Structure 1
Amino acid sequence: MRAPYASDPAKSRGRRTPEPESALRSAFQRDRDRIIHASAFRRLKHKTQVFVEHEGDYFRTRLTHTLEVAQVARTIARAMGLDFDLAEAVALAHDLGHTPFGHTGEDALDALMAPYGGFDHNAQAVRIVTRLERHYAGFDGLNLTWETLEGIAKHNGPVLGPDKPPLPYALADYDAEQDLELHDHAGLEAQVAALSDDIAYNHHDLHDGLRAHLFTMDQIAELPLIDGCVAEVDRLWPGLDSHRRRHEALRRFFGLLVEDVVAETRARLAALAPGRVEDIRHAGTMMVHFSDPVWADIRTIRAFLFERMYRAPRVVEMRAAVTGVIEDLFPLYMNDPALLPDRWQSDVAAAADETALARLVADYIAGMTDRFALQQHARLAGGGAGLLAVPR
């Protein structure tokens, strides 16, 4: 049963370019399907989550992470009477704007783009789904509904306000054409997608760190929340082999986070008593959230992961290497735009100034997969061997 404060596809604010409605799918289902069929979505298969894509087949990539986020979002949205197609669409699109090499690549590209407006992966996702995907005859982008675009732009909260940094150019450009109400919160479906992202990476980064031997099961068994999960598994299955023990404990941790978000969010909604989705947007706070005790425990887990995983020597060494790849490629394309593919040359010719060209180069580099960036670096800069030789 649909909650009164859920987004309703039949009452969508529509698409920038009007289209006939589908006889078989709701407006939000069509958004989800268009995202899945987008070129940028397919490229997530070969983009870094934490470990660079070539480091091992068992580690998460942006694509597998995105699918896990979408599964959690759909589960939570369904449990709360929300539109789970919209929650899934936002979840599937939330990382489309990521560069090769994950946050390391984003940091490098943001520094290079500082004279030209910077770079932000959430804003880039909006740019991709409104401009850079060019497959449809009647429009650039995917022509998504207003609600899905809103969710992609501000699933983490308002992006305009007195305490906010300047609006990223990739988002400002589109907002000038269609007001996404960036000073308000997004609907609940987008907020669910944001918390589902937190749940997914807190869970799978522990899995991947264990597989990479960056820490041990005994070490994470001392962490809050996880300690009780491990104890329960040991009580139910004493002597269980290490692989199954790890999986059983972490899936309980995963479930605990989902259940906590649902319970806390229901309590917040009961206190607010919203009657429509606009009440959520104007609530002045995120309604989808962990409880305070669980949030405190998650921060402890995150501190552990930062120390033992994200700042592990082998990860830091790889981050330095891939930063060099981005730092080499950007000036190469800026100094010789003819290196960009033929289908980009009309945009190069139309670039009015250096800033416009830099943004095209950023679009191109941000769209690269890990392996393509390494291939281009090897071809244009003679690099790559040192990166591939980093110990694993």
Structure 2
Amino acid sequence: MPCNCEELEARERDSLAHYAQLSADSRGRNVREPPPEWRTQYQRDRDRIIHSRAFRRLDCKTQVFLSGSGDHLRTRLTHTMEVAAIARNIARALRLNEDLTEAIGLGHDLGHSPFGHSGEETLDELMRVHGGFEHNRQSRRVVELLEHKYPTFPGLNLTWETLEGLAKHDTAPEPPLGQAQAEFHNASLEAQVANLA
């Protein structure tokens, strides 16, 4: 018989390190919905990202703008799959939540523009008077507003922890001198692992 959500959460409590983010301790979603029956909250997030249109579109975006095509062309999709696999392996070794880490790794590039880094730089320059363009913010916009997969809420309705990881997947700057350390909030360890991967 397959494991239900409670059994999967119990496995997390028994096997993950005390500093790992447990699915049962999630801060929840913007729109409340029934808990998943056969998955954890973070497994649901991962699956929603994988089945999103934005994720499939990563196959048409390149890391670096190149003209032409070929067998060795690196797309955002191949990069994203590699990041997620590396992040999951690191999370396993550190006894962190693999599902949360993988969800962040899979979603980290959903907001990238076409034409590689040069496309993002050009778009940022064109949008500077409106606050610029930054792919982390666009990733959040994609999963919170632009995806229209569900009739009862906008976006994918991901957990707070996955959204935080998408927003903070780039290396955080050092806190300004004189700023109290308590005011400077770090991303979860799972988000930091996805960032390093």
Q: Is the 8 A contact 1:86 1:148 kept in 2?
A: yes
Displacement of 1:157 after TM fit?
4.1
- The whole-number CA distance in structure 2 between the counterparts of 1:101 and 1:160 is 30
Match for residue 43 of structure 1 among 38, 44, 57: 57
Displacement of 1:55 after TM fit?
2.8
Q: Show the counterpart of 1:191.
A: 192
Describe how 1:262-277 pairs up with structure 2 within 5 A: none
Give the structure-2-normalised TM-score: 0.85
Root-mean-square deviation (CA, aligned residues, Å) is 1.8
Displacement of 1:115 after TM fit?
1.1
Q: Show the counterpart of 2:117.
A: 103
Q: Show the counterpart of 1:133.
A: 147
Q: Which ranges of structure 1 fall in alignment gaps of 5 or more residues?
A: 164-181, 197-392
How has the CA–CA distance of structure 1 residues 124 and 12 changed in structure 2, closer, same or farther, with 3 Å as cutoff? same
Runs in 1 of length 4+ with deviation above 3 angstroms? 157-163
Q: Which ranges of structure 2 fall in alignment gaps of 5 or more residues?
A: 1-14, 178-182
- The whole-number CA distance in structure 1 between the counterparts of 2:63 and 2:36 is 35
Match status 1:154 vs 2:168: yes
Aligned length: 178
Match for residue 67 of structure 1 among 81, 85, 104: 81
Describe how 1:330-341 pairs up with structure 2 within 5 A: none
Q: Which has the higher contact order (CA 8 A, sep 6+)?
A: 2
Describe how 1:1-392 pairs up with structure 2 within 5 A: 1-52=15-66, 54-158=68-172, 162=176, 183-196=184-197
Rg larger for: 1
Aligned residue identity for 2:27: R
Give the structure-1-normalised TM-score: 0.44
Q: Is the 8 A contact 2:136 2:169 kept in 1?
A: no
Aligned residue identity for 2:118: T
How has the CA–CA distance of structure 1 residues 153 and 134 changed in structure 2, closer, same or farther, with 3 Å as cutoff? same
3-state DSSP of counterpart to 1:48:
coil
Identity %: 58
Aligned residue identity for 1:79: A
Displacement of 1:57 after TM fit?
2.7
- The whole-number CA distance in structure 1 between the counterparts of 2:113 and 2:18 is 38
Displacement of 1:110 after TM fit?
0.4
Q: Is the 8 A contact 2:100 2:190 kept in 1?
A: yes
In the TM superposition, what whole-angstrom CA distance separates every residue of 1:231-289 from its partner, at most 9, and x where no partner exists? xxxxxxxxxxxxxxxxxxxxxxxxxxxxxxxxxxxxxxxxxxxxxxxxxxxxxxxxxxx
- The whole-number CA distance in structure 1 between the counterparts of 2:139 and 2:175 is 21
Displacement of 1:134 after TM fit?
1.2
3-state DSSP of counterpart to 2:68:
helix
- The whole-number CA distance in structure 1 between the counterparts of 2:110 and 2:45 is 14
Displacement of 1:52 after TM fit?
2.7
Q: Is the 8 A contact 1:158 1:184 kept in 2?
A: no
